[in-house]
Structure 1
Amino acid sequence: MKYVIQYTLPYEHRVMVGIEAESREAAIARANDLFDQGDIWDDTQEVPLLYDDFEETGDAGIALEFTIEDEVSGDWPEADTSVKEIRRRDAAFQAACLLVDAYRRGEERGGSVDWDDLDQAYQAALIAAGPSAGRAYTTPRETCERLAVVIEGGLVQAVVADRPDAAPSVAVIDYDAEGFETDELRYITQSDGNKAKALVVEHCVEQATIDLNEVFQETE
């Protein structure tokens, strides 16, 4: 059997914010409005949060008393909003740390940031942003890290990749367009603004059956 256990301690929640107003009364009225709207803790430039902490009150030596609040036979009940807020705050801090670590490791590798590192930060950020954020992107996106063009006899035979489903579109542009009909060619705008006729062949990216580790060898 699962049990929901509770204990209670007397605490005082003390908050200080900065408010610019014409008078003391106006400042207090503004604070009351912000509290009623639930915005007094937002820590904005207009109303900065200066202090936010819980202080224990009453007898510090009071013995804790644990009570059974509920018996659960199935799944645990949904967490209260207060717990969700703590989890979102912790996830936001974790996302920030993961992002910093990812870029630090990227600098150590010469400027190449690993998508796996960023995916971890992204997942933490989704939790921090709440359940409505990124619903269409609930899983880390796959990335194509290695793509190779296979040429034989001057012609492209195949385009292969480690993750073809995540690979970008690939096209081969051939400006040696003699012998082709005009309707087979495309006009490609060049860096100087002029257009040049070219044969463009789009290639399907296939799953690599060759060893791409042997293709992409790091230069010593």
Structure 2
Amino acid sequence: MRGDVETCADLSAEQQAAMKKFLVEYELPYVHLVRVGIQAKNEESAISIADQAFTDCTIWDNTPEMPLLYDDYEETGDSGAVLEFKVVGEYQEWPEPEVCVKIIERDAAARRACEHLIAAHECSNSASVREALFQSALEEAHVAMPHLSASTSSSNGTAGSEVMPTVVAWLEGGVVQWMASDHPMRYLVLDADTDGSDSMKVTMENGSIADVIRTSSTVLADHLPEWVTKLVEEVEGQ
């Protein structure tokens, strides 16, 4: 019992079976605030450099030349306002958690893996306890990095059972805006349509030379394995 609210924990199994499942939500206004360090001649130049880095998807690379100093979501408006809850659905079974929730779960598992690993390293009086901590760290690591678990499992099987990495490229106006993948990977976008712009020469796989424009720097794709898998299934199912 929480105050005057009766929870499922207060009910018998028979009473719990009669309870309905509702999806209840609330929302708060947030802004995504990012701050980076930039050395420039003046404010206008610093803004121009930041704008170009955002366009090139390198503003989050956290390099010595452009350190990432702040990246978080801050609540806007009246934070003291009373929250408004509303029911947005009724279900027989709970829906699958969205990618954002799974990312939170993986981050928490990664922290637990680190805690167990440090505890195992500092445990010197019991080999069995140390081994148990190492095993717990490994289990949490598999939860935090499920794509690596899949790769490990496939590598122990036949060659044909290996997981095929997938990357999703999002384009607007013929320009790659961002990429997401189910395995950690870097990407480099080269445009063969030079159109008189400054270009560079690169060697193709067959040894020929091609003029290209690098439209973005070599950056990491967003690692979203659950979302990529779900998106591929959704697209291929249509």
Return the TM-score normalized by structure 1: 0.49
Greater helix content = 2
Return the TM-score normalized by structure 2: 0.46
